[in-house]
Amino acid sequence: MLDIKLLRDQGDAIRQNLEDRNVHVFPELTPESGADWAARTVERLQALDARYLELLHDGDETRRKQNENTTAMKSVGKLPKAEQAAARKPLIEAGRALRDHEREVHAQAEEALVARDDAWSRVPNLTHPESPRGHTDEDHRELRRVGTIRDFAAEGIEPKDHLDIAEALELVDFAAGARVTGQKHYYLKNEAVLLDLALQRYAIGVAQRHGFTLHVTPDLARDSILQGLGFNPRGESTQVYTIENSDLCLVGTAEITLGGMLADSILEEEQLPVLLAGLSHCFRTEAGAHGKESRGLYRVHQFTKVELFAFTAGTLEESSAMHARLLAIEEEIFQGLEIPYRVIDIASGDLGGPAYRKFDLEAWMPGRGCFGEITSTSDCTDYQARRLKIRYRPTPVDGKKQKPRHVFMLNGTAVANSRALVAILENHQQRDGSVVVPKVLRSWTGFDAIGPR
């Protein structure tokens, strides 16, 4: 959630951002409803805010009068006994009237606040000035390509996709997954199990070397934590599985469990940056994604991931530097895995609500003959920290204590196992159907190659 003061002082910046991101806060205000849809959205948000403030003032004023009344009541005790009852009577009546009014206004103010924040929390984060503007895949900016794409034609090999490779080597069982759990669920088998564990161990090791505190996180989290991080836990197009009769969800990423760890706390500036790494399972409904890039392990309902998370001081200098650091770690990991990739600066329309800027790593996937997203790192500035109430106390200036500020929060994928497996199988496949294991994994797998069989 953004600072509500931005709505009051910089409505036009909000309007521009809604247009850049093509985000529709109210379903009836879209480009189809008129060119001024974004301006009308801002006006409507401002009206909701004004309504809340009006009720807030009324409530404050009423409580002030209640406090006055209470003070007056206290002084009654100093009057002669005979006069006290008569003096109390009007005060009690006034008190009752104030109480009734306060209750009514309070309830209305609550409602108005919920209405405002409901809408306001759908307004996305501001956008980095250098992020490309646009809503389509072509609008993303490719920053660089790293690694050499294998020339399979020169090797005289017709590259297979990861599913063909995996099935031939008996590394996955989607049929059993479908039987036991459902579509897009799978079992890993044989060497794939060890490869999966090796990837986790490798990524965890890199994270540790870079100073991240290691965690295995819960796979469930409360609705309120998801909302704080800008996820929508329930509703039609949610990507999140929820647990019936509880306020819990299966997490789609350890970003949730790591980011939520410090909710409601105030840190000292010296503690920053806080660097956390988390290993968790990730569950995604993939609502509306059927048929799209749906073959094999590329888009599945459950996978394991090592996630990086950082809390920094609340300046763009700090968070941008940390963002670059997270990206560098992701690149280090995939260079270690000997996978060619490119780095993408994600366009405004595809950032998702919380991100101020986002970089994706896309690995070359010979089976599909194109690049596919493999990691992602986002600078979410204070957008998530505001709802989660994660703050820090800046170091004193001239001996004066500073007011707490919201931390900036960033996340990045170290390794998402399902997609890393896709990239490894496809890039390291051999003519005989075997797959060479990247050197960095061999001490964990205990073998250099899988197959041939």
Partner RNA sequence: GGAGGAGUGGCCGAGUGGUCGAUGGCGGCGGACUUGAAAUCCGUUGAACCCUUACGGGUUCCAAGGGUUCGAAUCCCUUCUCCUCCGCCA
CB 445 within 8 A of CB 200: no
Contacts with RNA: how many residues (CB under 7 A)?
A: 31
Q: Restricting to residues 66-85, which ones interact with RNA according to CB under 7 A?
A: 66-67, 69-70, 73-74
CA nearest neighbour of 201 among 442, 448, 451, 450: 442
Among 60, 83, 137, 142, binds RNA (CB under 7 A): 60
For the record, the structure tokens of 91 come out as 């005060």
Beta-sheet pairing, 390-393 with 265-268: parallel
For the record, the structure tokens of 439 come out as 């050197």
Residue number, 106 or 368, with CB nearest to RNA: 106
Q: Is 316 in the site for RNA (CB under 7 A)?
A: no
Among 95, 147, 336, 394, binds RNA (CB under 7 A): 95
Binding segment toward RNA, per CB under 7 A, in 92-100, 175-183, 288-296, 319-327: 92-100
Task: Write the binding mask 248 to 287 for RNA: x where contact by CB under 7 A, - elsewhere.
Answer: ------------------x---------------------
Q: Restricting to residues 96-115, which ones interact with RNA according to CB under 7 A?
A: 96, 98-99, 103, 110
CB 339 within 8 A of CB 427: yes
281: helix, strand or coil:
strand
Among 13, 91, 316, 440, binds RNA (CB under 7 A): 91
Binding segment toward RNA, per CB under 7 A, in 90-98, 328-336, 412-420, 443-451: 90-98
CB of 74 to RNA, least distance (A): 5
Binding segment toward RNA, per CB under 7 A, in 255-263, 329-337, 357-365, 393-401: 393-401
Binding segment toward RNA, per CB under 7 A, in 50-58, 187-195, 203-211, 295-303: 50-58
Beta-sheet pairing, 248-250 with 405-406: unpaired
User: Helices 81-120 and 37-76 meet at what angle, rounded to 10?
Assistant: 160
CB of 149 to RNA, least distance (A): 46
| Secondary element (H or E) of residue 385 | helix 383-388
Binding segment toward RNA, per CB under 7 A, in 93-101, 276-284, 324-332, 337-345: 93-101
For the record, the structure tokens of 416 come out as 């998402």
DSSP state at residue 402 = P
Amino acid at 412: G
Among 5, 78, 81, 144, binds RNA (CB under 7 A): 5
Report how far residue 376's alpha carbon sits from residue 357's, in angstroms, rounded to the nearest whole number: 11
Residue number, 151 or 270, with CB nearest to RNA: 270
Q: Residue 375 to residues 193, 215, 326, 329, 427: CA-CA distances in angstroms?
A: 21, 19, 11, 11, 17
Residue number, 61 or 142, with CB nearest to RNA: 61
Residue number, 175 or 266, with CB nearest to RNA: 266
| Secondary element (H or E) of residue 215 | strand 213-216
CB of 99 to RNA, least distance (A): 4
Within 10 angstroms of residue 103's Cβ, the number of other Cβ atoms is: 12
CB 257 within 8 A of CB 226: no
- Quote the Cα angle for 184-187-190, to 5°: 145
Residue number, 106 or 185, with CB nearest to RNA: 106
> 211: left (phi > 0), else alpha (psi -120 to 50), else beta?
left
Residue number, 224 or 285, with CB nearest to RNA: 224
Task: Write the binding mask 324 to 363 for RNA: x where contact by CB under 7 A, - elsewhere.
Answer: ----------------------------------------
Residue number, 134 or 218, with CB nearest to RNA: 218
Residue number, 371 or 408, with CB nearest to RNA: 408
CB 150 within 8 A of CB 427: yes
CB of 5 to RNA, least distance (A): 7
Q: Restricting to residues 403-422, which ones interact with RNA according to CB under 7 A?
A: 403-404
CB of 10 to RNA, least distance (A): 14
Report how far residue 308's alpha carbon sits from residue 329's, in angstroms, rounded to the nearest whole number: 9
CB of 66 to RNA, least distance (A): 6
> 316: left (phi > 0), else alpha (psi -120 to 50), else beta?
alpha
Q: Residue 306 to residues 112, 130, 145, 214, 258: CA-CA distances in angstroms?
A: 40, 28, 23, 10, 11
Question: Which residues would be at the binding site for RNA (CB under 7 A)?
Answer: 4-5, 53, 56-57, 59-61, 63-64, 66-67, 69-70, 73-74, 91-92, 95-96, 98-99, 103, 110, 266, 391, 393, 399, 401, 403-404
